[in-house]
Structure 1
Amino acid sequence: MYREGIVTDKKTKLNREGCFVNVGLLNEVFLDKPLTHGVRVTVRIEDPNKPKKLKGTAVSPTEPTLKTGVYWGYSVRIANTLSDVFTKSPYEGGYDAIIGTSDRGDPISSIDSKSLNYNHALIVFGGLKGLEAALENDDKLDVEDPKLLFEHYLNALPDQGSRTIRTEEAILVTLSALSEKLSPKVPRMVCKFNELLPQSSDTS
């Protein structure tokens, strides 16, 4: 079982090496590795059926997804320019499906179901002034039309009826519309949630 937690300042007995992590259960989880107080950490709990003496291991935030397939949130990186979005990918080989969104794009209905194959997809949203404004402020890109930067330049909501759509709204609309268009090359793992949920008395 995995949980996210915060390292507490609780002292270990007899100066035993390790630390305690608050993971939202009645009792804290003991890690045998000392970590800095206040740090956020992903914890793999060894035996959740012993709620009074919880022990765990600090793991990579990607492990819950890689081992179980369960969604475990997202990470953020800062891109100072539009070109940095493409060139500073955290993945070896970069992105193999690059999609731009705009009210000037092609209708998303023009994309066939499950036709967008990818290992690492990138979907780019603009601000109120669109991707055109981001392109104008990037000296490294020598193109005038943002459509030329993408394999697909899509409009997720044709005839939207308003001048602009808020980015947070556009993200939800676009991801919903793309869900049946995307086809990951790595099969999605099926989660058995009843085996992943904590079974301790304080969360039942």
Structure 2
Amino acid sequence: MSKRVRKKQGLDSDLGSIKKQKICNTLRASTGRQYTVSVALPGSIVENAQSIELKTYLAGQLARAFAIFNVDEIVVFNESEMLRNSGDNEREESSRKKKQTVNISSDPNIFLARILQYLETPQYLRKDLFPVHQDLRYAGLLNPLDCPHHVRQDEKCPYREGVVIDRKIKYAKGSLVNAGLTKHVIIDRSIKPGIRVTLDMGNYETVKTDGTYIKAKVVSPKTPRQNGFYWGYQVRIADSISKVFTECPFSDGYDVTIGTSERGNIIHNLVDELPEFSHLLIMFGGLGGLETSIDADQDLKCTGEEADSLFDLWINTCPGQGSRTIRTEEAVLITMATLRAAIYKKGRIIANE
């Protein structure tokens, strides 16, 4: 091999390494953030799609929108009284029969949540975290989210997601983690196999015990966000709209809430109208709008006609629409784009976790 060819290959390798590092830095915000943005929507929206392929594609569209606009939590709520009453029975029956490999969810809320969780998970962890399921039959055809935590094998990002593997370490304490690298990662904590963890990779230092491993430490999933990286979203299912609020994972709840409707108020300057927040919740309705969902929830004291009383802001983000209806997946894109500047301006630097 000539010197010229070797020199060119070395230059290509260096440029590739620089490019990968640049990609990681590009996806990092100039400052970290403490505040969170949550979105709630009904799982029934996938029922409007006429095949499992279209249902899957719809879920993929939503996942891409949530990732693009840095959503931290997605709440899939059950807007139907009938579905809510039968949901527990369906889940018990499913568990009893244990159809883990050929099951397909009759509950649209579970279907949507499963697709959203699958797409948020880095590709190298999916085999460990998701058993074969008919709901995921077409998920491989969806566009990837390509978030910062979907790190390639040869990229060096300060943080990585991993899953603890069932393998004992000789001559050392701790656990081994699959983090999508050529070598397993060793951590100094004993954690149950199958648990997903967030890792601070430090300088990718290697250590030797019964093999060569990369040393890292487990950190909170919030840590990357606080240091400037968007680190994906959490997904939870709520049996009703009221439980979106009562089962909030934050100790002080959502301090600012926004309801969206074509009958909402038209606000021309959302930067001025949106209060400062630590944990923002934006809620979307289904085919009949949020008003229908609120009417179906017997635990709420207000009716659909009084829906505006449930939220701090009750807004219409697309006044003068040229179509009779705006689909929920379209409303998500329109609303998140409309709110983007206001969210950046009013999100508190220090939030109450």
TM-score, structure 2 length as denominator?
A: 0.48
Change (3 A) 1:59 1:185: closer
Question: Could you tell me how far 1:19 is from its partner in structure 2?
Answer: 2.1
Q: Where is the strand percentage greater, Structure 1 or Structure 2?
A: 1
Question: Could you tell me how far 1:130 is from its partner in structure 2?
Answer: 1.0
Among residues 163, 171, 177, which one is paired with 2:324 in the alignment? 163
Question: Which one-letter code corresponds to 1:174 in the other structure?
Answer: T
Contact 1:114 1:180 in 2 (8 A): no
Question: Could you tell me how far 1:13 is from its partner in structure 2?
Answer: 2.7
Structure 2 unaligned blocks of 5 or more: 1-157
Among residues 190, 214, 222, which one is paired with 1:54 in the alignment? 214
Question: Which one-letter code corresponds to 2:316 in the other structure?
Answer: N
- Residues 11-31 of structure 1, C-alpha deviations (whole Å, 9 max, x = no match): 4235x3322211122212111
Tell me how large the CA RMSD over aligned residues is: 2.3
Among residues 142, 163, 167, which one is paired with 1:6 in the alignment? 163
Matches within 5 A, 1:1-204: 1-14=158-171, 16-48=172-204, 50=206, 53-66=213-226, 68-108=227-267, 110-116=268-274, 117-144=276-303, 145=305, 146-182=307-343, 183-186=346-349
Q: Higher relative CO (CA 8 A, sep ≥ 6), structure 1 or 2?
A: 2
Change (3 A) 1:49 1:123: same
Distance 1:48 1:19 in 2: 17
Question: Could you tell me how far 1:114 is from its partner in structure 2?
Answer: 4.8
TM-score, structure 1 length as denominator?
A: 0.79
Distance 2:262 2:177 in 1: 47
Question: Could you tell me how far 1:134 is from its partner in structure 2?
Answer: 1.0
What is the number of residues matched between the two proteins? 185
Q: Where is the helix percentage greater, Structure 1 or Structure 2?
A: 2
Structure 1 unaligned blocks of 5 or more: 189-204
Q: Which residue is 2:91 aligned to?
A: none
Distance 2:292 2:273 in 1: 30
Contact 2:204 2:216 in 1 (8 A): no
Contact 1:47 1:54 in 2 (8 A): no
